[in-house]
Structure 1
Amino acid sequence: MKVSSYFRKPLFKWIVAAIVFLIAVYGIAGFFVVPGIIGDKAQQFVSGKFQRKLEFEKISLNPFTLTATFDGMRLTEPGCEDDFASFDSLMVDLSSQSLFRMAPVIEEIRLVNPRVHLVRSARNHYNVDDFIAFAAEPKEDDSPARFSINNIQVENAVIEFDDFPQNKHHVVDELNVSIPFVSTIPSQVDIFVDLAINGRFNQEKIELTGKARPFFKDKDGTVNIRLDKINLPAYAGYLPVKPDFDLKDGKLSIDMEVGFGQRAEGQQGLTLEGNVVLESLLLAEPDGKPVLKIPEMTVRIAHSDVLSGKFDIGQVLLKGPEVYLDRNRAGQWNVERVARFSPADNTGKNHVGAAADASAGKKDSRPFSVSLGKLFVENGELRVSDQIHVVPADFSVRNFALDVDGIVLDVAEKNVTVDRMVSAGTEVRFVHGKLKFQENGKPTRKTVQKAANEIGERTGFGFRVGRFELNDWAVHFENHDAGKPVVTKVDGLTVALDNLSSDDKEPVQLSVKANVNQKGTIAIGGSMNLSPFGTDLDLDIRDVDVRFVQPYIEDFVNLSLKQAELTVKGKFHLAQAKTGMKGQFAGDAGISRLTTVDQLSRQPFVSWKVLSLKGIRADLAPLSVVVDQVRLNDLMARVILSSQGRLNLQDILRSESGGRKSLTESEEKNMVLNAGSSISSRIPENEGVAKKKGRPDYSIQIKKWWIGNGKIRFSDNFIKPRYTANLVDLRGTVSGLTTNPDKQAVVDVKGRVNGAPLVIAGSVNPLSERLSLDIRANVKGMELAQFSAYSGKYIGYGIDKGKLSFDVAYKVENDQLSAENALVLDQLTLGEKVDSESAVNLPVQLALSLLKDRNGVIDINLPIGGSLNDPEFSVGGIIFKVFVNLIQKAVTAPFSLLASIVGDTEELSWVAFDPGSYTLSESGQRKLETLARALEDRPGLRLEIAGKADPDADSTGLGKKMMMKKIREMKARRSGQDIGSQQVTVSDEEYPDLLKRLYGSEDFDKPKNWIGFSKSMPVADMEKLLSQHFAGKKDDLIRLANRRAQAVKDWLIEKGNISEERLFLLAGGLRKTEGTESGNRVDFSLK
């Protein structure tokens, strides 16, 4: 059969016609019917399921090319006309292979200008909640549908997100998505699907590329994420917790490859590799004060398996980081304040803290480790402001650089290891005033230890650093507490630590070198253990300025350092023991160019050129120091010995009771003596102090101390008024200086005091709490004119000339003091009278005349003694009392003083005569001999002589004398002799008869007998009556007194060799006998 005839058959025509019809129907349905049905069904589904309105401007379907185009789609929000989503067009090209694959195979999908508007209306409520709920509904068949989609393209998409709780509006625009292929068909699931997404997120560029096999058994793939300078503050509100700091600025850039997949064993896999760059980071407190600035930080992450807990960071680079630490007056640091978190507004309950608490203390069984190949810090800065101190402290670090190699963090093993840490060229600056520390200003080792233990218990981590280095650091200390800033500059600081570890079994090797203030050097080397803490160090410190320690010792001493340079060379060992910290030092030390002042008066206290200590052996607990040799050159010091025998050097350290005490202000009491005051009222009030008995709880021994070219301004308050002297050119030794109260140091020092030679020798224990001394000091020929102002204040006269030599000896044993104060004043000549309230109210000129010998020398010895424990005992008071008594004795009993000077005890102020006589007796002549010797040795004294007559005894004596004269005259007449009555002698046999004749011849009332005649009387009665009859009258008594005075004067001139110019007669007078003091005598007074 021919083909043409076959086509002409009716059956064929019917078949063709049917096919044409079907094609026509297929075309009409595809072009005109199906698009409407699709649109209606879609609208009905969306409206019924989601209460949203779905609209299309046009739906086009080409049944022959199997392409569909949806134009002008618009989807509204539920129950309103607001747009939720829209696009300009969506083109879907279905492949004819779908028939053979028995699954949809799409050649191409292209979506143009889609727009989506997402809204978060409240916490956990979005405008897509209905879609999410629909997607979460359980499906009858969870197996993935078979499909193959190729050439997926999204062009110029826009996603807007309004976050009303955060009051934020986010926009993703210019979004383009390209996915070449995705399929669940078994023969294609092992083919990688490539992904390319790019666009902008809030004006910042984003880019994601990658490949994956989402339906392959491993579901593996990679995604390359590129984010360019994302503005972090815009997203701080989406943190799960709300921090107490403000993220002021920060740009995040990410170039990261994220790998993912599922292994055959069902384990998930997630890897990271790439770079993270953080720029312009600024964290601040709520008030705007900065806490952290990071201009740039780059983190280079090597291939890291996240879910396996293994992070490998190749390098971290920090450029110019700035850290600001600030502590307020409440003692809280800003990092503590900003590290607190509270629930964020966009979350429910804050579970972060609870989760952390629940997991605390539990060891994570999952392995987790971080290794860091390199850490670089360039040009870092740290600034610290501490407001807790009286004057805020400022601490800053500049140009901080850090290079760290080989960091490994193993969380499972709780261990951190670092191969090497190096920091170079950093500058540190610390400026502060008065510092305030915890525990009443006294930081303790227990406080530091407790803090360290708490950190260890809290973290539980161990660490090890192979080598830690600081190279060429510079540290600037500046203290403003003392007014003028004290500046200490440390440069060239090099620190090296080897094997720094939390393992206490391995010691740390330590090396420190530095220059201090361009002159001093520090070199420390050795080993150190962290737990328990201990060190074995070699110290070599030379000429280091230590003025910086003054603010830290200010409250414990009474002096201030103006200059001091420390040198130490030796071995230092320190170890923590159960009973406390133990330590030893062996070596040499010294302080040179020292200058100190009194904290209160700001007057110079102690300075020297060199203080060198050789052969030191010191223990910390209990404190014990032994020094073989000490050399002190060019000393200048203010030394004061108190009225209790305490040196001001013992008050350098403040007492436990606290309070400052002047080291340079000497004791001065009011020494004004009123005319009518008693001696006891003139003695300075005792300043007794309680003395601590027994041995101290420390031990100090200095075997030999050499002193050269010393200068000391010394005030001795043992003597009141106080004595001050300038001691120069001091040289000598002190041997065996110790705190042992049973031993004394031997002193042998020579020098000059106020220009005169000085020698000090003896023994003393000034370091002992219980004073013991046996010291003798002497000075020869000190000029006194230089003390004219001093003498004018206390004795009321200046000094024109004179020299002083003294020899003093003090001995204190068992709190009993005995002292000798021998003073020799040569040619002391007082000047003009000086008005002074402190001057003694005594005739000083007279006293000096009494004390001066013929050569103009005054030699005085003032011995004292007493118990230092007696609250009424005052060394200065006793010496002053002895001195004042000496002056008073010169006034009230000058002749007793003269007698004691010439070695006699007899009273020389008067000479007695027999009643009625002016002839010197033998005893009277002996007195005059003693008085003459004293006057001869004191040519400056003048003697006044006053004769006295007793109205009773001398009157009777004159009468008896007249009676004897008449008896002698009567005998001379009877014998016819022509001689004076004084040459007539009357024998005992003759006397009664002559007396009777004289009695009868004199006319006066006589006793009568019974017949009226004169009564016969015994010899004694006749003597009495005749003596009364011839008794002298007043004129006779005055003449007798004057003749007595003349007799004494004549004797002193003729036999005593006293010049007449020094003797003065006073008018005679009457004086009755009172007690043992007779009136018939001659009185003396001195001028």
Structure 2
Amino acid sequence: MTKSSANSAGNKTRQRWLLALLGLVLMGWLSIVAAIEFFAPHWVENTLAAQISQRLGVGIAIERVSTKAFEGKIAIYGVEVTDTSGEPLLGFGELHLDYSWLSLLSPVWVLESAQVVAPSIHLRLPANGPLTLMQLLPSSDGPAVETPRWQLKRLTISQGELSYRDQRVQPERTFAIKNWGLSLKDIGTESANGEAELHGNLPAGATLDWTGRIGLQPFTSSGHLRLSQLSLPDTLKWLPEQLPLAVQDGRLTLDLQYQATLQPTLSVSIKDSALMLSEVSLAQLDNAETRSIATVRSLRADGLAFGYPSGQWASKSLSLDGAEVTLERDSRGEFTLLKALAGPPRETVSAPSKSPSIDWAGSIQAASVNDVMVHYRDLSTRPNTTLSLGPLRLSATPKAAKAQDTVAIELHSAMNTNATLSLLGELGMPSVRANLPAAEPYFSGQINIDALALTPFAGLLAEVLAVRLPAGSLSANGQLQWQTPSAPSWAWSGDAAISSLRLLHARGQHLLSLKSLQVEGLAAQGTPEQVAIKRVLIDSPKLRVQRQRDGSLSLNSLLKPRDTRAGTTPDVFIDTLAVRGGTVAFADQSVQPSMATALSKLNGSLRRLDLSGRQATTISLRGYLPNAAAVAIKGQINAKKPRQFMDLSLRTERLALPPLSPYASHYAGYALNDGLLWADLNYRVNEGALNAENTVRISDFTWGEASDSEAATGLPVRLGTALLKDVNGDITLDVPLRGNLSDPSFRVWPLVWQTVGNLLTRAAAAPFKLLGGLASDDDALSRIEFMANSASLSAPAQERITRLAASLADKPALRLSLGGHSDASKDIMPSENPEAATQYRYELAKARAIAVREALESAGVAAEQIILEQPKASTEASLAVTLAISLP
């Protein structure tokens, strides 16, 4: 046999062996296929299900199993897994597996595709115990089993349902995802793709959409997750502690781009993501009553970035559009929202930290607020205070990076409907950047307020003053600085104005009104509190001051008591305070009838008004009392300590006295018919010592009818004033005052009245001293002496009568009573007849009085001014005519 023949025979032998081997393999494969085709369904439905059920302690029911072994396909229908109590755990309607026969010969099991139709997963967390689905996980007890290598090229899930019940709280929480579907490509221990999509319907119309990748070695996930229109009230139910506020409505949308690694440690990175809240409604529960406190149309954060465990977060923009917020302060002065957020006190239990704490740090690059209304109601004031702010527009944009993060703030809003508010400034944030020390927050910016009605603030003003505020508006423009704990903690510089202001007493009477109050160059600061003003102009103020029936001034009751320990009095300095066209009305109800007068056309200024008392204030004011009587006040005074230093002068001219008649009726017992007053008052105080010079001139003065006042002084005021008149009919008084203001019992006006009363008393007691200075002593002034047995006037007596007549002629209101006298021991009649002697002396006394009368009349005294009294003949040594001054 040739070599070629031998080779040919060998080839044929090998071919026969190969064919035999292939036949055996084919027979084995056909046997396996036939076994799977005919025995696998029964084994899966019964044996495998029973083994798994026994091992896991669950019930497994399989409707049927079908195979197409030659095609490498298995289908399982109607699977339901239940726990020991019969409650469902999971199941599906159909499971279709398409496997690769070749993978059975490979170390990697390969499923070409898996399709699950109508899966249902039931998660339940009982009050005690783990999640029920954990029963399906094999026990960790026993020897470790090597996990097989596997590969699933495509997984499709459709018509899925997932439900979750949390029974740890009552009522129990529930959650469901319906009609969800999942597609997954190339997943397994050998996966390098893991592309997936998940879509489903959440409760209350919300949706779930996710596209991304999943890796198993290590376990990682990345992709885009969008949760749309989640019900906010339902979502918040899953918080471990309920919020103190009731979320009645609202939707939450999350749009996240993320990367996450679960092994070997958890790390999450979120970038270019967004969060939006819409149609949110917040309410507060108060004694079973639900009150709305806020509604939000849209709150959106864009460009969100988040890192865990780095603790870094950021947002490119935060925008709030369309919101309405209500803030309320209860009758005890506490904010109801803060009380609600605080909630009841809870005991805190400290537990050891299982992981290091994370220092969260981040920033918002830009923020905007649009169409926001804020309502404020304060029930602690009387009347209640109601304010509104909005619609409000706010934008916040980061500025160039410095050692501290700063934000440019711009705000525009209406206030109480008609007023406007604008703010433009810079806000410094506490530094959160690495390697930088902590920075103190600050604000610096321009604030403008225009035409802010003050009436809504009446309740706040009533906390300090017992007044009503029916009208007035405020405008302000200035620079505000704020920073703590630096000193000053805040500072304001700018201008302000109040217009059309009206203030009433608490009982409704007019107190103060003004056309405008302009404040220029206002500089104020806190800690320490200081206020400096360049100029204040008060235009057309009208102030009403009233003296009550009890003698107190109405102004004294305006300031309500306050705790002086709450703070110190601010240091206030005003360079110039000017008044233009002012009126001060004064009414006195402590006298009857009541008295009223007014100082009008008041103009002038106070210079260097220093309420700290470091320097004296210069005063220069001028106004007019009724009948165009001018009043001028000039001088200096220590505004804080007037009892330490004062040097003031008050001058008035041609002041009509009849309007002051109620005072005269009350204190003097007579009304005033006529009179004009000139006054020059000078008061000087130095270290409590008063030195006052008061010069008063009254002309054309006439008393009126007597009153029945019980407070009348009882002094001879009519006679005294008549005697005090000079030859021109004027009364001129110098009333010096001395005293110590440091003496608590010292009072100026009682001292003035006492001084005037002493003048009146002395005038009535020694009237002839005021009638031309006829003698150096009272006796000579009141007597005209005669020679014995004579009724003739001596030359000195005639001269005295002439001078007295001149004084009486200037005082026609006075009456002069003449009392003739005779003396039995000196005026002797030759007749020894006693009756004739008596008659002689009587006639002699009468003749003496007539002689004085005739002399007076000859000197120009009107007859009606002279009164002859009954002559007196006595044994006393009297050879005179006595004179007495009186009024009719």
Normalising TM by the smaller chain, what interval?
A: 0.7 to 0.9
Aligned counterpart, 2:231: 231
Evaluate the alpha carbon distance shift between residue 84 and residue 369 of structure 1 in structure 2; reply closer, same or farther with a 3 A threshold.
closer
- Pick one of 685, 689, 703 that aligns with 1:815: 689
- Pick one of 408, 425, 433 that aligns with 1:496: 425
Evaluate the alpha carbon distance shift between residue 490 and residue 947 of structure 1 in structure 2; reply closer, same or farther with a 3 A threshold.
same
Q: CA deviation at 1:497?
A: 2.5
Evaluate the alpha carbon distance shift between residue 124 and residue 324 of structure 1 in structure 2; reply closer, same or farther with a 3 A threshold.
farther
Instruction: Tell me the distance in 1 between the aligned counterparts of 2:531 and 2:316.
Output: 55
Does structure 1 residue 1047 correspond to structure 2 residue 845? no
Evaluate the alpha carbon distance shift between residue 843 and residue 74 of structure 1 in structure 2; reply closer, same or farther with a 3 A threshold.
closer
Q: Is the 8 A contact 1:1053 1:1060 kept in 2?
A: no
- Provide the secondary structure at the position in 2 that maps to 1:248: strand
Q: CA deviation at 1:192?
A: 1.9
Instruction: Tell me the distance in 2 between the aligned counterparts of 1:770 and 1:30.
Output: 118
Instruction: Tell me the distance in 2 between the aligned counterparts of 1:569 and 1:155.
Output: 66
Instruction: Tell me the distance in 2 between the aligned counterparts of 1:567 and 1:789.
Output: 44
- Pick one of 102, 106, 128 that aligns with 1:101: 106
The number of equivalent residue pairs is 844
Q: Deviations over 1:129-182 (max 9, x none)?
A: 4333x343354234x313344444445344444444453444444344444544
Q: Deviations over 1:89-127 (max 9, x none)?
A: 444444321353255444444444444444433233444
- Pick one of 461, 467, 476 that aligns with 2:415: 476
- Provide the secondary structure at the position in 2 that maps to 1:238: coil
Q: Is the 8 A contact 2:443 2:483 kept in 1?
A: no
Evaluate the alpha carbon distance shift between residue 928 and residue 904 of structure 1 in structure 2; reply closer, same or farther with a 3 A threshold.
farther
Q: CA deviation at 1:341?
A: 10
Q: CA deviation at 1:1040?
A: 0.6
Instruction: Tell me the distance in 2 between the aligned counterparts of 1:572 and 1:154.
Output: 63
Q: Deviations over 1:63-111 (max 9, x none)?
A: 5555444444444432x55655544444444432135325544444444
Q: Is the 8 A contact 2:790 2:844 kept in 1?
A: no
Q: CA deviation at 1:31?
A: 5.2
- Provide the secondary structure at the position in 2 that maps to 1:289: strand
What are the residue-to-residue correspondences of 1:959-998 with 2, within 5 Å? 962=830
Q: CA deviation at 1:1033?
A: 2.4
- Provide the secondary structure at the position in 1 that maps to 2:408: strand
Q: CA deviation at 1:281?
A: 3.7
Evaluate the alpha carbon distance shift between residue 253 and residue 341 of structure 1 in structure 2; reply closer, same or farther with a 3 A threshold.
farther
Instruction: Tell me the distance in 2 between the aligned counterparts of 1:15 and 1:757.
Output: 143
Instruction: Tell me the distance in 2 between the aligned counterparts of 1:204 and 1:841.
Output: 97
Instruction: Tell me the distance in 1 between the aligned counterparts of 2:517 and 2:161.
Output: 85
- Provide the secondary structure at the position in 2 that maps to 1:468: strand
Q: Is the 8 A contact 1:761 1:777 kept in 2?
A: yes
What are the residue-to-residue correspondences of 1:499-578 with 2, within 5 Å? 510-512=444-446, 514=448, 516-517=450-451
Aligned counterpart, 1:195: 196
Evaluate the alpha carbon distance shift between residue 775 and residue 462 of structure 1 in structure 2; reply closer, same or farther with a 3 A threshold.
closer
Instruction: Tell me the distance in 2 between the aligned counterparts of 1:1060 and 1:280.
Output: 103
- Provide the secondary structure at the position in 2 that maps to 1:334: helix
Q: Is the 8 A contact 2:197 2:212 kept in 1?
A: yes
Evaluate the alpha carbon distance shift between residue 819 and residue 618 of structure 1 in structure 2; reply closer, same or farther with a 3 A threshold.
farther
Aligned counterpart, 1:285: 284
Instruction: Tell me the distance in 2 between the aligned counterparts of 1:893 and 1:246.
Output: 93
Instruction: Tell me the distance in 1 between the aligned counterparts of 2:38 and 2:614.
Output: 128
Q: CA deviation at 1:1068?
A: 3.4
- Provide the secondary structure at the position in 2 that maps to 1:1046: helix
- Provide the secondary structure at the position in 2 that maps to 1:320: strand
Aligned counterpart, 1:337: 340
Aligned counterpart, 1:147: 150
Unaligned runs of 5+ in 1: 344-348, 406-417, 422-460, 479-487, 519-544, 660-695, 966-1029
Q: CA deviation at 1:1046?
A: 0.7
Aligned counterpart, 2:834: 1033
TM-score by length of 1: 0.61
Q: CA deviation at 1:239?
A: 2.8
Q: CA deviation at 1:624?
A: 10
Aligned counterpart, 1:206: 208
Q: CA deviation at 1:327?
A: 4.6
Report the residue type matching 2:413 in the other structure.
Answer: A
Q: Is the 8 A contact 1:594 1:608 kept in 2?
A: yes
Instruction: Tell me the distance in 2 between the aligned counterparts of 1:842 and 1:394.
Output: 60
Evaluate the alpha carbon distance shift between residue 1069 and residue 700 of structure 1 in structure 2; reply closer, same or farther with a 3 A threshold.
same
Q: Is the 8 A contact 2:123 2:164 kept in 1?
A: yes
Q: CA deviation at 1:591?
A: 7.5
Instruction: Tell me the distance in 2 between the aligned counterparts of 1:778 and 1:20.
Output: 137
Q: Is the 8 A contact 2:173 2:238 kept in 1?
A: no
What are the residue-to-residue correspondences of 1:301-380 with 2, within 5 Å? 301=303, 306=308, 313=315, 315-328=317-330, 329=332, 331-334=334-337, 337-338=340-341, 364=359, 370=362, 375-380=367-372
Q: Is the 8 A contact 1:608 1:636 kept in 2?
A: no
Evaluate the alpha carbon distance shift between residue 722 and residue 261 of structure 1 in structure 2; reply closer, same or farther with a 3 A threshold.
closer
Aligned counterpart, 2:48: 42
- Provide the secondary structure at the position in 2 that maps to 1:49: helix
What are the residue-to-residue correspondences of 1:403-482 with 2, within 5 Å? 403-405=395-397, 418-419=398-399, 463-465=404-406, 467-470=407-410, 473-476=412-415
Q: Deviations over 1:588-620 (max 9, x none)?
A: x89897977685784556968898999999999
Instruction: Tell me the distance in 2 between the aligned counterparts of 1:733 and 1:201.
Output: 76
- Pick one of 140, 154, 160 that aligns with 1:136: 140
Instruction: Tell me the distance in 2 between the aligned counterparts of 1:363 and 1:617.
Output: 42
Report the residue type matching 2:140 in the other structure.
Answer: A
Q: CA RMSD in A?
A: 6.2
Q: Is the 8 A contact 2:445 2:481 kept in 1?
A: no
- Provide the secondary structure at the position in 2 that maps to 1:136: coil
Q: Is the 8 A contact 1:281 1:293 kept in 2?
A: yes
Instruction: Tell me the distance in 2 between the aligned counterparts of 1:617 and 1:381.
Output: 30
Q: CA deviation at 1:498?
A: 7.8
Instruction: Tell me the distance in 1 between the aligned counterparts of 2:637 and 2:650.
Output: 16
- Provide the secondary structure at the position in 2 that maps to 1:516: strand
Q: Deviations over 1:522-576 (max 9, x none)?
A: xxxxxxxxxxxxxxxxxxxxxxx99999877777779999989999999999999
Evaluate the alpha carbon distance shift between residue 738 and residue 913 of structure 1 in structure 2; reply closer, same or farther with a 3 A threshold.
farther
Does structure 1 residue 398 correspond to structure 2 residue 390? yes
Q: Deviations over 1:616-644 (max 9, x none)?
A: 999998979898x99998787779999xx
Q: Is the 8 A contact 1:68 1:93 kept in 2?
A: yes
Evaluate the alpha carbon distance shift between residue 947 and residue 420 of structure 1 in structure 2; reply closer, same or farther with a 3 A threshold.
same
TM-score by length of 2: 0.72
Q: Is the 8 A contact 2:786 2:792 kept in 1?
A: yes
Q: Deviations over 1:414-473 (max 9, x none)?
A: xxxx3489xxxxxxxxxxxxxxxxxxxxxxxxxxxxxxxxxxxxxxx99511x51315x1
Instruction: Tell me the distance in 2 between the aligned counterparts of 1:934 and 1:1039.
Output: 33
Unaligned runs of 5+ in 2: 432-436
Q: CA deviation at 1:699?
A: 9.8
Q: Deviations over 1:666-705 (max 9, x none)?
A: xxxxxxxxxxxxxxxxxxxxxxxxxxxxxx9989797x99
Q: Deviations over 1:931-951 (max 9, x none)?
A: 555445545545444444556
Q: Between the two proteins, what is the percent identity of the paired residues? A: 17
- Provide the secondary structure at the position in 2 that maps to 1:122: coil
Q: Which has the larger radius of gyration?
A: 1
- Provide the secondary structure at the position in 1 that maps to 2:340: helix
Instruction: Tell me the distance in 1 between the aligned counterparts of 2:676 and 2:648.
Output: 23
Q: CA deviation at 1:516?
A: 1.9
Instruction: Tell me the distance in 2 between the aligned counterparts of 1:555 and 1:1082.
Output: 75
Aligned counterpart, 2:434: none
Instruction: Tell me the distance in 2 between the aligned counterparts of 1:81 and 1:706.
Output: 93
Q: Deviations over 1:179-208 (max 9, x none)?
A: 454454xxxx25424434444444754344
Q: Deviations over 1:304-360 (max 9, x none)?
A: 7656656565555544345554454462552563366999xxxxx998x8578x989
- Provide the secondary structure at the position in 2 that maps to 1:285: strand
Q: Is the 8 A contact 1:195 1:211 kept in 2?
A: yes
Aligned counterpart, 1:996: none
